[in-house]
Structure 1
Amino acid sequence: MTLSKMERASLEMQLPGDRRKEFVISIDTAHVRSADPNSGRNFELVVARCGHGGRGDVSGRYFATSSSDQTAIRDRTLHALRQEGYRGFGDVTVISDGAEILKRLPRAMPKPTAHIIDCSTSP
């Protein structure tokens, strides 16, 4: 069966919700305390997963950094997104808790970027 030119064009059309254009960043922080209670060597760790949208997708790029510098976090996030195919367009969603260093990340990312605050707590 041969498809007409118009039928082929409609099959190639990009539809809303195209997984290749949806990117999700799940990002969280952890406060790491020194094993020595007399040591002042505590730090905050940022851990993230960047990947495509879609339920049950386990692929993606992970990164961790001890830098709390907003520019460094943004740059690491964009690098991981680019490795997943992000080319400066598409929908980006940031999922994070209300940690202060993560609140500004969605505003630092390319537009459009949505921010979902995960308020769930584990028992």
Structure 2
Amino acid sequence: MTDEILEFIVMVNGGDSESEVLRAITERIPEAAEIEKDSCELRGNRLEVWANEDADPSRATDEEEGYLYFRWRIEVLPQRDDVGEEAQVGLAGEMLGALREDRGWDATLAATFEDRVEEGRAEEGEEGSAE
């Protein structure tokens, strides 16, 4: 058993329903198997979209802690023992791309490995702009 914390949360400010937020992810990552309108199985994880009980549009614009008041919370929980940190870093990056780039929504990752995801996304952006 590993001491890695592989679950992560993505806070999202965009979309009108749980199913719309989930659809944003499954359109980019089509191998997801939908379980219910607000959850799916994806790469050994269960993704669940929840309305954020603390959502507050007037506070969501704060640069430091605004994400705490975003409309939606996506919880990503590993369901298999073979899910590793590298896979979670990749999945989190793809999810952020689906939400930020494909939909134009604000999305913030909360994970023990979040710096690796953001660094990787910045490097991808630099490579893409060099072409």
TM-score bucket (shorter structure):
0.3 to 0.5
State TM-score, norm by structure 2.
0.33
Q: TM-score, normalised to structure 1's length?
A: 0.35
Higher strand residue share:
1
Bigger-Rg structure (1/2) = 1
